[in-house]
Structure 1
Amino acid sequence: MITKATLENVSQLNTLINSAYRGESSKKGWTTEANILDGLRTTEEELSETILNPKNTVLKFTDNDQIIGCVLLVEKEKELYLGMLTVSPELQNSGVGKKLLQQAEIHAQALGLPKIVMTVISVRDELIAWYKRNGYEDTGAKEPFPASDVHIPITEEPLEFIVLEKKIR
């Protein structure tokens, strides 16, 4: 079941997101960033601020009272930004991510926004290919990877974001 996340979900969301992106647990799934980044993917404080922002919607995918997936949707002037698509590492390749993408499209349509945009770290070839199989196109635009004390690069490869988008009918 996909529903809107609330502040009561912050702790469970934080655990899920960090387990899917960083550290040993993330290596069970194919979307890990553990080989390129160290540190946390997010914090409870950051998630609380995100949920409280009226331009943001965090959707959670729940099964048996457990949050097994989520996605951040940010309403912008002419597009919907999609970020932090997360599926529990043990459940990746089960269709949860695809269902969250479909729900994002429904959300964009409901807001009257013509496209969904996202940024993906350029070295994440498998992930970029998955998004392309789901209708996203590389716009050719690039954005710098943010330097911070949360996202700590552990690779020699220079990191940058590529911008993907999908037009919504």
Structure 2
Amino acid sequence: MTTFTISAATGQDIPALNQLVNSAYRGDSSRKGWTTEADLLDGIRTSEESLQAIFANPNAQILKYEEEDQLLGCVYLEQKGNDLYLGMLTVSPDAQGSGIGKQLLRAAEDLAIARKCRAITMTVITQRHELIAWYERRGYRPTGETQPFPDDPRFGIPKQPLAFIVMEKEL
């Protein structure tokens, strides 16, 4: 049985988190996994500067998943009123399909319950049908709300018009 830990990431993890997130979402390395956005977006998914901003936000944190001191996954969480916003759920392309995403999602839900949150909310690119279905199988539902994709190259350069749907799971 593989032993793993899920713990709060720190500023020392920024270089490894940056590499992990970008490898899972963009570029050729991301095509090994099913979470790739390479067909939808060019550019990077995050940067060390963006990650530093997360660590500077007192309402935000990143949980990291490690096996044998190897970073294989992470998730961004931010307290927004009575809700916990979940984003950047990431699993290394080589480790996808092994349950790491489910473990991180469960850890996020446990944290939200411990904080007495009403719900976990998230935004998902509307074209990511397989990802939306994955979240729906775990109890998340579209709220009917949509949001525009940011017109900011720090989040990627869209290859087509993109928007987000808002999903939530009441706790």
TM-score by length of 2: 0.95
- Give the distance between the partners of 1:148 and 1:54, measured in 2 at CA: 24
**TM-superposed deviation, 1:154:** 1.4
Instruction: Output the amino acid matched with 1:49.
Output: A
1:148 correspondence with 2:142: no
1:60-75 correspondence to structure 2 within 5 Å: 60-75=64-79
Separation in structure 1 between the aligned mates of residue 66 and residue 95 of structure 2, nearest angstrom: 12
| Distance in 2, Cα, partners of 1:113 & 1:154 | 36
- Identity value in percent: 54
- Aligned residue identity for 2:88: M
| Structure 2 gap segments, 5+ residues each | none
Displacement of 1:53 in angstroms is 1.2
CA deviation after TM superposition for structure 1 residue 52, in Å: 2.2
**Map of 1:20-35 to 2, 5 A cutoff?**
20-35=24-39
Secondary structure of the residue aligned to 1:113 is coil
1:13 maps to 2:30: no
The residue number in structure 1 matching 2:140 is: 136
Structure-2 residue corresponding to 1:167? 170
3-state DSSP of counterpart to 1:138: strand
Normalising to structure 1: TM-score of the pair?
0.96
Residues 116-143 of structure 1 show CA distances to partners (whole Å, capped at 9, x for unaligned) of 0000000000000000011100111100
Report the CA distance between 1:6 and its aligned residue: 0.1
Partners of 1:116 and 1:68 in 2: CA distance: 23
State the 1:82 CA deviation: 0.2
Q: Residues of 2 paired with 1:167 and 1:105: CA distance?
A: 10
Give the Å deviation of 1:114: 1.2
Q: Which runs of 5+ in 1 are unaligned?
A: none
How far apart in 1 are the matches of 2:12 and 2:44?
Answer: 20
- Misfit runs of 4+, over 4 Å: none
Q: How does 1:43-54 map to 2 (within 5 A)?
A: 43-54=47-58
**Superposition RMSD in Å:** 0.7
CA–CA separation in structure 2 for the residues paired with 1:130 and 1:121 = 13
Once the two structures are TM-superposed, the CA of residue 32 in structure 1 deviates from its matched residue by: 0.2
The Cα of 1:83 is off from its aligned counterpart by 0.3
Q: Measure the CA separation in 2 of the matches of 1:114 and 1:138.
A: 16
